[in-house]
């Protein structure tokens, strides 16, 4: 039931918000106030759900705590590494795909929110006023795309490894597509409107992001391989839960 509600929320969000895209996070003060507040409101229910899920993990599955820390640390590392891209500009990956696959989109929304707050306060990267919008693109849109894709991929028979690669890569791209969309909504082209602006912002963000997204996919697989190799206990209970659901 809860799951259905969540899917409904994300689908509604996806339909109401004409798909958006942008490469790195939206800069401080660069969203009109109404937009900033709107994105914040859109993100709050997911953060609340994610907070509750994290509390549940900590109390009921203490063996997954370290894994949760790992997912957060992975986001920390990947979103700190600005990498050069084939387009001659730089951007950074997000790292949310892994946590979305392991813990679901709501938990990774919370983790993304923490990282984005760190960057907004200490690095002047992103911003406080744009925190809601950035958390939406990275933590909600990116991780929902990754989580959904992983479910589909494993259901149609792909291995977990391939599923994680696909999920992390597409989740990364989705984040920046949504960022472009958010900017296009805020700054429609004077002649062509939102869509022309969207295409322009995609040109900056999404294309730069493609090689980085592939990097993120590969790195997520490396982490998964290592976990599986050492037969990590938290991972075992997560997959066990998944199997239980299928029955």
Q: Which of residues 87-116 bind other proteins (CB under 8 A)?
A: 87-91, 115
Among 85, 112, 143, 175, binds other proteins (CB under 8 A): 85
Q: Which is nearer to other proteins, 11 or 218 (CB)?
A: 218
In DSSP terms, 235 is beta-bridged to none
Under the binding rule (CB under 8 A), the answer on residue 154 touching other proteins is: no
> CB–CB of 50/2 below 8 Å?
no
Give how many residues touch other proteins by CB under 8 A.
87
Q: CB 120 → other proteins: shortest distance, Å?
A: 8
Q: How far is CA 202 from the centre of its chain?
A: 17
Under the binding rule (CB under 8 A), the answer on residue 227 touching other proteins is: yes
Q: CB 202 → other proteins: shortest distance, Å?
A: 11
Under the binding rule (CB under 8 A), the answer on residue 84 touching other proteins is: yes
For residue 81, count CB atoms less than 10 angstroms from its CB and return exposed for 0-12, middle for 13-18, buried for 19 or more.
Answer: middle
> CB–CB of 174/141 below 8 Å?
yes
Q: What are phi and psi of 84, to 5 degrees?
A: -70, 145
Q: CB 99 → other proteins: shortest distance, Å?
A: 12
Q: Which is nearer to other proteins, 21 or 148 (CB)?
A: 21
Q: What are phi and psi of 82, to 5 degrees?
A: -85, 125
């Amino acid at each position: 039931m809860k799951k259905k509600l969540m899917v409904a929320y994300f689908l509604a969000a996806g339909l109401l918000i004409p798909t958006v895209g942008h490469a790195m996070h939206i800069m401080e003060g660069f969203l009109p106030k109404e937009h900033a507040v709107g994105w914040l409101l859109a993100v709050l229910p997911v953060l609340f759900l994610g907070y509750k899920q994290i509390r549940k993990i900590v109390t009921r599955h203490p063996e997954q705590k370290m894994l949760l820390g790992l997912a957060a640390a992975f986001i920390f590392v990947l979103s700190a590494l600005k990498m050069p891209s084939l387009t001659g500009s730089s951007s950074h990956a997000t790292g949310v795909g892994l946590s979305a696959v392991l813990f679901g989109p709501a938990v990774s929304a919370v983790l993304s929110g923490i990282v984005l707050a760190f960057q907004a306060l200490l690095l002047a990267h992103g911003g406080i006023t744009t925190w809601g919008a950035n958390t939406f693109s990275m933590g909600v849109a990116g991780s929902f795309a990754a989580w959904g894709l992983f479910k589909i991929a494993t259901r149609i028979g792909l291995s977990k490894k391939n599923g994680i690669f696909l999920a992390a890569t597409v989740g990364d791209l989705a984040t920046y597509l949504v960022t472009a969309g958010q900017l296009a909504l805020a700054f429609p082209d004077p002649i062509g409107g939102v869509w022309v602006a969207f295409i322009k912002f995609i040109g900056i963000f999404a294309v730069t992001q493609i090689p980085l997204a592939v990097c993120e996919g590969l790195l997520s697989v490396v982490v998964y391989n290592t976990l599986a190799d050492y037969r990590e206990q938290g991972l075992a209970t997560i997959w066990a839960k998944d199997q239980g659901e299928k029955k």
